[in-house]
Amino acid sequence: MYEAIEAFRSKLHLLERDIHGRRLHFPHLREHCEKNKMQEDPAMKDFVSRLAENFKERFESSPKLSADILLFVRQPFSVSTDGQWTADAKKLVPSIDEAALQMEILAMGTSDLLKAQHKDALVSDFWINVVPQARFKNTRDIAMLLLTMFPSTYICESAFSSMNAIKSQDRNRLSDSHLGQCLRIATTEYKPDIRKVASFRHSHFSH
């Protein structure tokens, strides 16, 4: 997610420069201006500039991550043990022990088992389910921070997917109240004890 944000930020800056120049990314605008011998509307330039500024403000509080820290989370066996990135990681996660972090990276780099498991696992699965917390606490702390940096995004996307599944074409008359109740059931992590609930219910037999 962080990489997607940075990529979009760079694209906005590229578009901002391009609309002032050759307009390579605005072929229809370029064709229209050349055909009618006119300059583009200043509002178009202003729109892209305001969009870039708005995007910057929304993510201004997000930490700046070095390329090596991102590489470490994706490819933990490819980074240097004593590079500048460990100092950057310490600034990002002040609670980690930088000296212990370097030792953990060395230990991880010599583990053939972890290397083999890393090849077959997703990045998130590798750090959550494969790397043991007891041996690699500092490395896991860094990875988990990056993997959970935008948790609300996942929650929103998950809820929206559930809503689309619930409010299908055949259930288009579902009220907002009922939709809310269905969403609560679909997104909650609570697991009811059905047997216990059922034990409090008594059947009414006809006489």
- For residue 21, the SS3 value is coil
The CA distance from 56 to 73, in Å, is: 25
Specify the amino acid at residue 146.
L
> What is the pLDDT, as a whole number, of residue 139?
93
> Token pair 């935008």 is at which residue?
150
Q: What is the mean pLDDT of residues 14-25?
A: 80
Residue-wise pLDDT tens digits, 130-186: 999 999 999 999 988 888 776 555 666 677 778 878 877 777 777 888 888 888 888
Q: What is the mean pLDDT of residues 17-32?
A: 80
> What is the pLDDT, as a whole number, of residue 67?
78
CA dist 8 to 4, 89, 199, Å? 6, 24, 55
Instruction: Report residue 107's pLDDT band, with 50, 70 and 90 as the boundaries.
Output: very high
Residue-wise pLDDT tens digits, 42-101: 777 788 788 777 767 666 555 567 778 888 888 889 888 877 888 888 888 899 999 999
The CA distance from 203 to 74, in Å, is: 57
The pair of structure tokens assigned to 116 is 């083999």
> Token pair 């064709």 is at which residue?
31
The CA distance from 144 to 139, in Å, is: 9
CA dist 20 to 9, 10, 12, 156, Å? 17, 16, 13, 36
Return the C-alpha torsion angle 13, 15, 17, 21, nearest 10.
Answer: 170
Who has greater pLDDT, 32 or 138?
Answer: 138
> What is the pLDDT, as a whole number, of residue 130?
92
> What is the pLDDT, as a whole number, of residue 137?
94
> What is the pLDDT, as a whole number, of residue 153?
57
The CA distance from 78 to 108, in Å, is: 11
DSSP 63: P
> What is the pLDDT, as a whole number, of residue 99?
93
Model confidence, pTM: 0.51
- pLDDT of 121 over the 80 cut: yes
